[in-house]
């Protein structure tokens, strides 16, 4: 193979595909208030997607405690309002979280322990100006997690001059198999999707089937509180 051919092949492969990443999710008190949850800098996710030169426009933070998992996101650099439709969840702008409570990195189809949560800054209500949180089905899944009670997911969003600030909370009861005391390792993936700015992903980009293949997700360890 020539040097030119080798370089062309390398460009076809996202560099993060060559690694299996593991990260820690800090244990922090998650108290939901009118402004959502506040998470410290220590909860900020690494921007591993930059290895593949994917867009970077959001500060994404995640933390957990025994009551569930909280997220806090700030999106910057926008010149238009987010495109969000409650009737078209998978096509909307927002924050997508994939969580496998049994961390099965060698499977290619989701099980009943795999979840996809979506938090949108708008799209709900008659005027489409209310934030939305939803459990979204994973395509090609072998089984689905247990249904969640309406309104059990919490979401808050505030518009900013160049984007938005969003906060969300997933209660433990909304995650089938969530049991940090005996299973502290999760399959985990995150993507901030924006029609204007692109996809900011935890690692691999949308050219890979990250939305429905758990083997492409990262691993996350629920760091125990001191």
Phi-psi region of 137 (alpha: psi -120 to 50; beta: other; left: phi over 0): beta
Residue 123: which CATH number?
2.60.40.1190
Report the 10 Å Cβ neighbour count for 32.
Answer: 16
| Domain-located, residue 91 | yes
The model's confidence at residue 226, banded by pLDDT at 50, 70 and 90, is low
Mean pLDDT of the 31-36 span: 92
| Domain-located, residue 149 | yes
CB 155 within 8 A of CB 132: yes
Residue of 59, 33, 70 whose CA lies nearest to 222: 70
Domain that holds residue 170: 19-223
pLDDT tens across 34-81, in order?
999 999 999 999 987 666 677 899 999 999 999 999 999 999 999 999
| Domain-located, residue 3 | no
Alpha carbon distances (Å) from 14 to 7, 55, 212: 13, 13, 18
7 pLDDT more than 90: no
Record the tokens describing residue 176, joined without a space. 């089938």
| Domain-located, residue 129 | yes
Domain count of the chain? 1
Q: Which residues pair with 186 in a beta bridge?
A: 220
- What does the mean pLDDT of the chain come to? 91
| Domain-located, residue 85 | yes
Residues 6+ apart with CB under 8 A from 47: 56, 200
| Domain-located, residue 4 | no
| Domain-located, residue 24 | yes
| Domain-located, residue 83 | yes
H helices within the chain, ranges in order?
A: 3-12
């Amino acid at each position: 193979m020539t040097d030119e051919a080798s370089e062309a092949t390398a460009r076809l492969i996202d560099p993060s595909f060559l690694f299996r990443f593991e990260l820690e999710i800090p244990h922090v008190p998650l108290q939901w208030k009118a402004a959502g949850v506040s998470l410290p800098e220590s909860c900020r996710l690494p921007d591993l997607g930059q290895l593949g030169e994917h867009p970077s426009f959001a500060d994404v933070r995640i933390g957990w405690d025994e009551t569930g998992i909280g997220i806090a996101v700030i999106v910057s650099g926008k010149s238009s309002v987010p495109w969000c439709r409650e009737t078209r969840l998978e096509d909307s702008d927002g924050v997508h979280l994939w969580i496998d409570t049994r961390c099965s990195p060698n499977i290619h189809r989701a099980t009943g322990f795999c979840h996809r949560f979506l938090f949108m800054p708008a799209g709900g209500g008659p005027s489409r100006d209310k934030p939305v949180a939803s459990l979204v089905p994973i395509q090609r899944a072998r089984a689905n997690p247990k249904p969640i009670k309406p309104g059990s997911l919490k979401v808050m969003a505030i518009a900013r001059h160049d984007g938005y600030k969003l906060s969300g909370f997933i209660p433990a009861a909304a995650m089938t198999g969530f049991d940090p005391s005996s299973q502290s390792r999760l399959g985990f993936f995150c993507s901030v999707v924006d029609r204007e700015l692109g996809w900011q992903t935890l690692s691999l980009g949308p050219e890979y089937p990250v939305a429905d293949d758990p083997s492409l997700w990262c691993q996350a360890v629920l760091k125990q509180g001191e």
